Amino acid sequence: MEQPEDFTTIESIFVRHRNALLLRGQFTPLYIDYYLHLMQHAVRPPGELDQMLKDALAILSLHLVARPWAETIAWTINLRAPRINLFVTGASLTEAVTGRIFTEGVREPERNFFYSQTTSIEGVAPRLSTVEVDGTDPVGWLGQYYAQSEQRPARAFRLPDETFALVAAQPDCDLAWLAGLDEAGVAAIDAHESTTLLETRRFRFHCGCDLGRILPVLGCWKNRLDDLFHGAASITVQCPRCAASYNVTRDMLADARSE
């Protein structure tokens, strides 16, 4: 049975008199899931990129709690230097976030671009947004994304002990107070402001991929298996969402075709 400590719990808190929403979570449980995943699939991102992905997972989780429950959100950030695509996605209904970093075959953009896709109702086209961002810090990207896409101020903060916070403006927000916040001020909000806990949501690092989902992706190769395998008995395929590795044989694809 899953225990509460297996998940990161995120609090949604209304800051009264400031008319702001505070989202806050301690991400050690989620990061443990993430590192167990890396060990299982022998994925070893460089230290700088590893931290970038962890930060992005935390910021996305906070953003998900600021949004309606039914939404699934995916972010892709195409960076010029380092030349990478950073991908994170998640949903409150599945209580999960996942992500990976692409370092091979990435086009070099003229500027850094942040792509967001939000899906809420099946059959309704996703909401797409593209914004230009500066720097390589996911904490900094959040404010830029909100200003250009959400069209309201918000700021993210990296606090001690793998804790992150997001403060987003609500109608009639005290914008001067929001602009003047720093890490110490965010950490002390409970002591200095009147707050109300609205809800909690929980998240873990989890993709849900398996061979049953990976094999249909290779369906376009069903009549060109020689081109796919190049004489090898098997190939290794990575999940596009979490970089998990799966060993695929010709027989597996043949069985998939016959089903």
Q: Which CATH superfamily is domain 211-258 in?
A: HSP33 redox switch-like (3.90.1280.10)
DSSP class of residue 233? S
Whether 71 shows a pLDDT value over 70: the answer reads yes
Q: How large a percentage of the chain has pLDDT more than 90?
A: 76
Answer yes or no: are the C-beta atoms of 21 and 66 closer than 8 Å. yes
Higher-pLDDT residue of 218 and 58 is: 58
Encode pLDDT of 119-177 as tens digits.
997 778 899 999 999 999 999 999 999 999 998 999 999 999 999 999 999 999 999 99
- Strands 96-102 and 195-205 turn out to be parallel
**In the chain, pLDDT over 70 holds for what percent of residues?**
96
Distance CA 212, CA 234 (A): 16
Banded model confidence at residue 259, pLDDT cuts 50, 70, 90: low
Q: Within the chain, which residue ranges are assigned CATH 3.55.30.10?
A: 4-205
pTM of the model: 0.92
> Does the pLDDT value for residue 233 go beyond 60?
yes
User: 4-205 falls under which CATH superfamily?
Assistant: Hsp33 domain (3.55.30.10)
> What per-residue confidence (pLDDT) applies to 94?
96
What's the mean pLDDT when you consider all of the chain?
92
Per-residue confidence (pLDDT) for residue 3, from 0 to 100: 55
pLDDT, tens digit, for every residue of 78-126? 999 999 999 999 999 999 999 999 999 999 899 999 999 999 977 788 9
CA distance 164 to 155: 11
As a whole number, mean pLDDT of residues 228-237 equals 86
The Cα–Cα gap between 55 and 99 comes to 11
- Give the separation between CA 87 and CA 78, rounded to whole angstroms: 9
Query: What pLDDT does residue 168 have?
Result: 98
Work out the average pLDDT over 43-68: 96
- Please tell me the predicted confidence (pLDDT) of residue 5: 67
110 within 8 A of 80, measured Cβ to Cβ: yes
Please confirm whether the linkage preceding 240 is cis (ω < 30° from 0).
Answer: no
Amino acid 226: pLDDT = 81
- The yes-or-no verdict on residue 258 having pLDDT over 60 is no
Mean pLDDT to the nearest integer, 53-57: 98
To the nearest 5 percent, what fractions of the chain are helix, strand and coil? 35, 35, 35
Q: What is the mean pLDDT of residues 184-211?
A: 96
Give span(s): CATH 3.90.1280.10, the chain.
211-258
